[in-house]
């Protein structure tokens, strides 16, 4: 079946502009995560959605970052007034409802964001 898809695959933007990144999770997956990965760094948790529950935004680095998930499916990550330090690969992952033990996360191919 279809995996997690993300768009665009690459985005180059000027400092100060807003960008929107999109994630289409695997159908039926209720959990959705956004991460970012800078060159040579580990994955940094940004935000988590689970069903209709309030999202866990504890990883968002500043109030310039926000995310929505509409209808429990597609999610968009918005970065306002982009800065050069926002340049990174933004990865989306989805999984089945969290259980014990936790379910595998399936990652999308990522959006490579470059802020010039």
Partner 1 sequence: RKEVEQDPGPFNVPEGATVAFNCTYSNSASQSFFWYRQDCRKEPKLLMSVYSSGNEDGRFTAQLNRASQYISLLIRDSKLSDSATYLCVVKLNTGNQFYFGTGTSLTVIP
Enumerate binding residues for partner 1 (CB under 8 A): 33, 35, 40-43, 45, 48, 50, 56, 58-59, 91, 98, 100-102, 104-110
Nearer of residues 49 and 115 to partner 1, judged by Cβ: 49
Nearer of residues 59 and 72 to partner 1, judged by Cβ: 59
Nearer of residues 17 and 57 to partner 1, judged by Cβ: 57
Q: How far is the CB of 13 from partner 1 (least distance, A)?
A: 20
Phi, psi of 72 (to 5 degrees): 70, 15
Q: How far is the CB of 52 from partner 1 (least distance, A)?
A: 15
How many Å separate Cα 50 from the centre of its chain? 13
Nearer of residues 15 and 102 to partner 1, judged by Cβ: 102
């Amino acid at each position: 079946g279809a995996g997690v898809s993300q768009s665009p695959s690459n985005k180059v933007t000027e400092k100060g502009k807003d960008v929107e990144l999109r994630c289409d999770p695997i159908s039926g997956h209720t959990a959705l995560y956004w991460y970012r990965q800078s060159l040579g760094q580990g994955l940094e948790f940004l935000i988590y959605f689970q069903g209709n529950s309030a999202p866990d935004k504890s990883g968002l680095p500043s109030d310039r970052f926000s995310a929505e998930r509409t209808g429990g499916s597609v999610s968009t990550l918005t970065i306002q007034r982009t800065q050069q330090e926002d340049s990174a690969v933004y990865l989306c992952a989805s999984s089945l409802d969290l259980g014990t033990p936790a379910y595998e996360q399936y990652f999308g191919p990522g959006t490579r964001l470059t802020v010039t």
